[in-house]
Amino acid sequence: MEIIQKPEEMQAWARAKARLGATICLVPTMGFLHEGHLSLMRRAAGLCDLVAASLFVNPTQFGPNEDLDRYPRDFERDMALLRQEKVAAVFAPTPDLMYPQGFQTEVRVKDLATHLCGKSRPVHFAGVTTVVSKLFNIVQPDAAVFGEKDFQQLAIIRRLVADMNIPVRIVGQPIVREADGLAMSSRNANLDPANRAAALSLSTGLQLARAKAREGVRSTAALHALVEAHIHSFAGTAIDYASFVDCETLEPVAEADERTVLALAVHIDGKVRLIDNGYVLPQDAN
């Protein structure tokens, strides 16, 4: 497995592989890998000849009071995991290589980035779409895999690629959960045992909304009241949003149908902000 720091060396690697006729699937990550990331690597391996992972904690997608400094990191462990997954190359640049002096370009998707996380994290998605655009230009992949846990991010990246005619196939990979239902996230490492219990309010809130919607409760105001009360019954939780939205436009909906996703962001003990999401009805229901 090659570990490459410099963008121009990564581009040279990608061009050399393309000349040999190999296709490349990129899995962009911020490291501190867990089973969810590994499922992305395995999906990528089934899509192209070679898997390239990127590992970069992108500073531009963190706001001034967010957890950039506390974002968990373990480079050596990540490299060992990626080697086991037979990843061909890892692009692991430093911030100054990605954003050298004089850097001043921003790539921004407009409306989709204003919903959900965009309200409380106003700079986040411009940071994501800028770095993902750079990663696509540097790694030159044929396909890229993103986790569905970051549901809004995936919708925004699909829009970016369509709007800008970027020749990369975007593939979403389902959420991987712990045995008790907690969606896997690098940020789970920052949960102490009490907070870990409160973190379950997201997945159980989602299950509650699903159960009620399937019993026939379709008013999202009614479903929201149930989910809100459920999450707040766990000590230390503060809801950033619990929104019933259309899966593509991310606009709020009044009546749940098969396109409706419940998107959740919850602060746990003021320290860790977790997200989760899921369709509230089976995809083929009316």
Contacting residues toward ligand PAF, per CB under 6 A? 28-30, 58, 61, 128, 131-132, 150, 153
Q: How far is the CB of 61 from ligand PAF (least distance, A)?
A: 6
Residue (48 or 157) nearer to ligand PAF, CB: 157
Q: Which ranges of 52-192 does DSSP label H, i.e. alpha helix?
A: 75-84, 95-98, 117-120, 124-139, 151-163
Residue (58 or 277) nearer to ligand PAF, CB: 58
Q: How far is the CB of 41 from ligand PAF (least distance, A)?
A: 13
Q: How far is the CB of 144 from ligand PAF (least distance, A)?
A: 9
Question: CA–CA separation, 232 vs 51, rounded Å?
Answer: 42
Q: How far is the CB of 130 from ligand PAF (least distance, A)?
A: 9
Write the CB contacts of 12 (distance below 8 Å, at least 6 apart in sequence).
Answer: none
| Helix, coil or strand: residue 221 | helix
Give the residue numbers annotated as catalytic, written as ranges: 37
CB distance 233 to 204 below 8 Å: no
Residue nearest to ligand PAF (CB): 28
Residue (39 or 260) nearer to ligand PAF, CB: 39
Strands 89-91 and 143-147: unpaired
Amino acid at 18: A
- Residue 52 to residues 28, 109, 136, 147, Cα–Cα distance (Å): 8, 25, 11, 16
Residue (129 or 260) nearer to ligand PAF, CB: 129
